[in-house]
Amino acid sequence: MKSSSDLVREYIAHLRVEKGLAKNTTAAYERDLTRFSAFLFDQGIDVDRLDSEHLFEFVALLRGKGGGSPLAESSISRAVVAIRNFYSFISKEENFLNPIKEFTPPRIPKRLPKALAIEDVEGLIANALREDDLITLRDVALIELLYATGGRVSEITSLTMQDISKLGEGESLSIRLLGKGGKERIVPVGLFAQRSLDQYLIRVRPALVAKAQSNFLFLNARGGGLSRQSAWTIIARAADRAGLTDHVTPHSLRHSFATHLLDGGADIRVVQELLGHSSVTTTQIYTLVTIDRLRESYAQAHPRAQF
């Protein structure tokens, strides 16, 4: 029997080459399985001798048992799914009975996504701009586009010039986003985001692209593509200047996009398509937010409301 580390390498290669999973997804699997492989080695457990009790011990370690830093429940659940998929693969490749086929990942509580108030989004955008720093026109365009499209930060930072429609007087703008599993979608862009993007493309990007001739839409100060980490930093700094006390991330803007559309009466199927969700069930979590707001408004406004 091959070592667990060798089998992990084979499985990751399988995910990359044959399954064609996204780079970030594959990297997450590799981190989880490398940690798991180290656990097997430390415990002296052969890869084909794992059982549910061993896996419960591993989950306990991920939760901080033994003094380590605990992982979030969502990360633990993802790790268990990675291990189950790993064993489904290697048990067939190495011809042994899958010992954890019936193991159920730990349930995690479903948390409602945190959406920003509309005035907080406006404050975030306003505080991204600094008059003494021209490149902040890029930061405003980035935030506007994240909120206008509901795109994931990886989708927005990977945009190229070919992914946006031609900007022109009186023309509407749309962008092509490449989502999970290579699924493409076309998303319209509102006027505010169009104007901000126009300002960036005219006043900032030409000087940046001259440094490296990159084809990415959003560029860093050296002319290369803007990273996801830089996008997070841009939003965190703008949130700090705006005095927003909650943890604000690019995903906060995606949540806000979906929630505000549904609050405004958009059809859930339309929101599903705009977000790039493969199932409407994923999108329905945002309807819970909207119902809570309706309930709150009802309780405040109706003279005989009692909840």
Q: Which CATH number fits domain 4-93: 1.20.810.10, 1.10.10.1100, 1.10.3720.10, 1.10.150.130?
A: 1.10.150.130
SS3 at position 291: helix
d(CA 74, CA 178): 24
Assigned CATH for 118-298: 1.10.443.10
Entry pTM? 0.65
SS3 at position 170: coil
Q: Is the pLDDT of residue 63 over 90?
A: no
pLDDT, tens only, 205-264: 999 999 999 999 999 999 999 999 999 999 999 999 999 988 899 999 999 999 999 989
Q: What is the pLDDT of residue 305?
A: 62
Q: Which residue's structure tokens are 């076309």?
A: 186
DSSP 196-209: HHHHHHHHTHHHHH
d(CA 39, CA 65): 13
Q: Could you give the residue numbers annotated as active site?
A: 152, 180, 251, 254, 277, 286
Q: Sketch the domain layout of the chain as residue ranges.
A: 4-93, 118-298
Q: What is the pLDDT of residue 74?
A: 81
Cβ proximity of 161 and 247 under 8 Å: no
Burial class of residue 189, CB neighbours in 10 A (0-12, 13-18, 19+) = buried
pLDDT, tens only, 100-157: 888 776 665 666 678 899 999 999 999 999 988 999 999 999 999 999 999 999 999 9
